[in-house]
Amino acid sequence: MEKISAEKAPKAIGPYSQAIKSGNYIFLSGQIPINPETGKIVNGGIKEQTEIVIRNIIEILKAAGSNIEDVVKVNVYLASMEDFEEMNSVYAKYFLNRPARSTIEVGKLPKGVKIEIDVIAEVKKDG
Protein backbone atom coordinates (compact mmCIF):
# COMPACT_ATOMS: atom_id res chain seq x y z
CA MET A 1 0.00 0.00 0.00
CA GLU A 2 1.31 3.43 -0.97
CA LYS A 3 -0.01 6.84 0.11
CA ILE A 4 -0.45 9.31 -2.75
CA SER A 5 -0.03 13.04 -2.33
CA ALA A 6 -0.41 15.49 -5.23
CA GLU A 7 1.13 18.94 -4.84
CA LYS A 8 -1.35 20.46 -7.34
CA ALA A 9 -4.43 19.22 -5.47
CA PRO A 10 -5.87 20.36 -2.13
CA LYS A 11 -4.30 18.86 0.98
CA ALA A 12 -6.44 16.46 2.97
CA ILE A 13 -8.60 18.34 5.50
CA GLY A 14 -8.61 15.46 7.97
CA PRO A 15 -6.73 12.32 9.04
CA TYR A 16 -6.72 10.61 5.64
CA SER A 17 -4.68 10.47 2.42
CA GLN A 18 -5.62 12.06 -0.89
CA ALA A 19 -5.38 8.55 -2.34
CA ILE A 20 -3.98 5.09 -1.70
CA LYS A 21 -2.40 2.86 -4.32
CA SER A 22 -2.97 -0.81 -3.55
CA GLY A 23 -2.08 -3.48 -6.06
CA ASN A 24 -3.19 -2.34 -9.50
CA TYR A 25 -5.73 0.17 -8.20
CA ILE A 26 -5.84 3.72 -6.86
CA PHE A 27 -8.55 4.62 -4.36
CA LEU A 28 -9.15 8.36 -4.14
CA SER A 29 -10.67 9.93 -1.08
CA GLY A 30 -13.73 12.07 -1.67
CA GLN A 31 -12.83 15.40 -3.23
CA ILE A 32 -14.79 18.56 -2.55
CA PRO A 33 -14.47 21.84 -4.48
CA ILE A 34 -11.37 23.32 -2.88
CA ASN A 35 -9.08 25.61 -4.85
CA PRO A 36 -5.66 23.95 -4.41
CA GLU A 37 -3.84 27.30 -4.56
CA THR A 38 -5.86 29.05 -1.86
CA GLY A 39 -7.22 26.14 0.16
CA LYS A 40 -10.63 27.82 0.02
CA ILE A 41 -13.97 26.41 -1.11
CA VAL A 42 -14.83 27.43 -4.68
CA ASN A 43 -17.95 29.55 -4.67
CA GLY A 44 -20.45 29.34 -7.46
CA GLY A 45 -22.95 26.85 -8.69
CA ILE A 46 -22.77 23.13 -9.19
CA LYS A 47 -21.04 23.47 -12.58
CA GLU A 48 -18.13 25.44 -11.10
CA GLN A 49 -17.87 23.13 -8.13
CA THR A 50 -17.98 19.99 -10.28
CA GLU A 51 -15.28 21.40 -12.58
CA ILE A 52 -12.79 22.04 -9.76
CA VAL A 53 -13.50 18.67 -8.11
CA ILE A 54 -12.75 16.83 -11.36
CA ARG A 55 -9.61 18.88 -12.03
CA ASN A 56 -8.37 18.01 -8.54
CA ILE A 57 -9.12 14.33 -9.18
CA ILE A 58 -7.07 14.49 -12.38
CA GLU A 59 -4.08 15.93 -10.49
CA ILE A 60 -4.22 13.20 -7.85
CA LEU A 61 -4.49 10.51 -10.52
CA LYS A 62 -1.43 11.98 -12.29
CA ALA A 63 0.56 11.89 -9.05
CA ALA A 64 -0.39 8.21 -8.71
CA GLY A 65 0.72 7.34 -12.25
CA SER A 66 -2.78 7.10 -13.67
CA ASN A 67 -5.28 9.29 -15.51
CA ILE A 68 -8.99 9.89 -15.84
CA GLU A 69 -9.30 7.37 -18.69
CA ASP A 70 -8.29 4.63 -16.21
CA VAL A 71 -11.14 5.36 -13.77
CA VAL A 72 -13.35 2.29 -13.35
CA LYS A 73 -15.79 3.48 -10.63
CA VAL A 74 -17.12 6.87 -9.58
CA ASN A 75 -19.26 7.86 -6.61
CA VAL A 76 -20.91 11.27 -6.83
CA TYR A 77 -22.48 12.74 -3.70
CA LEU A 78 -24.83 15.68 -4.24
CA ALA A 79 -26.35 17.94 -1.61
CA SER A 80 -29.40 18.13 -3.92
CA MET A 81 -30.54 15.96 -6.83
CA GLU A 82 -31.83 19.21 -8.34
CA ASP A 83 -28.18 19.70 -9.40
CA PHE A 84 -27.96 16.36 -11.22
CA GLU A 85 -28.35 17.60 -14.82
CA GLU A 86 -25.86 20.44 -14.47
CA MET A 87 -23.34 18.19 -12.68
CA ASN A 88 -23.82 15.56 -15.37
CA SER A 89 -23.12 18.04 -18.18
CA VAL A 90 -19.69 18.84 -16.69
CA TYR A 91 -19.00 15.21 -15.73
CA ALA A 92 -19.67 14.01 -19.31
CA LYS A 93 -16.91 16.27 -20.70
CA TYR A 94 -14.27 14.49 -18.62
CA PHE A 95 -15.32 10.88 -18.13
CA LEU A 96 -15.30 9.87 -21.78
CA ASN A 97 -14.62 6.20 -20.93
CA ARG A 98 -17.98 6.10 -19.07
CA PRO A 99 -16.93 4.25 -15.90
CA ALA A 100 -19.45 2.64 -13.55
CA ARG A 101 -21.07 5.33 -11.39
CA SER A 102 -23.38 5.87 -8.45
CA THR A 103 -24.95 9.26 -7.78
CA ILE A 104 -26.39 9.79 -4.33
CA GLU A 105 -28.18 12.71 -2.67
CA VAL A 106 -26.87 13.17 0.85
CA GLY A 107 -28.13 15.20 3.79
CA LYS A 108 -25.03 17.35 4.10
CA LEU A 109 -21.49 17.52 2.73
CA PRO A 110 -18.29 18.84 4.37
CA LYS A 111 -17.99 22.61 4.53
CA GLY A 112 -21.49 23.03 3.05
CA VAL A 113 -20.40 22.22 -0.53
CA LYS A 114 -22.77 21.02 -3.25
CA ILE A 115 -20.72 18.01 -4.42
CA GLU A 116 -18.14 15.42 -3.43
CA ILE A 117 -16.67 12.79 -5.76
CA ASP A 118 -14.49 9.76 -5.11
CA VAL A 119 -13.08 7.38 -7.71
CA ILE A 120 -11.27 4.09 -8.15
CA ALA A 121 -8.80 3.88 -11.03
CA GLU A 122 -6.65 1.17 -12.51
CA VAL A 123 -2.88 1.52 -12.73
CA LYS A 124 -1.66 0.29 -16.10
CA LYS A 125 1.27 -2.12 -15.77
CA ASP A 126 3.07 -0.53 -18.71
CA GLY A 127 3.07 2.85 -16.97
Strands 100-105 and 71-78: parallel
Q: What is the pLDDT of residue 109?
A: 95
Q: What is the pTM of this model?
A: 0.94
Determine the structural domain holding residue 65 and report its residue range.
2-122
CA distance 87 to 60: 20
Domain-located, residue 6: yes
DSSP alpha helix (H) spans, 3-78: 46-63
pLDDT in tens, 94-106: 999 999 999 999 9
Percent of the chain with pLDDT over 70: 98
pLDDT for 74 beyond 60 = yes
The domain that contains 79 carries what CATH number?
Answer: 3.30.1330.40
Domain membership of residue 78 (yes or no) is yes
Are residues 122 and 82 in contact, defined by beta-carbon separation less than 8 angstroms? no
Structural domain includes residue 117: yes
Burial, 125: exposed, middle or buried (Cβ in 10 Å; 0-12, 13-18, 19+)?
Answer: exposed
Q: Which H helix or E strand runs over 86?
A: helix 84-94
What pLDDT digit, counting tens, does each position of 76-86 carry? Answer: 999 999 999 99
Report DSSP state, residue 78. E
Over 90: is that where the pLDDT of 66 sits?
A: yes
Total structural domains in the chain?
1
* Bigger pLDDT: 124 vs 79: 79
Task: Let me know if residue 127 belongs to a domain.
Answer: no
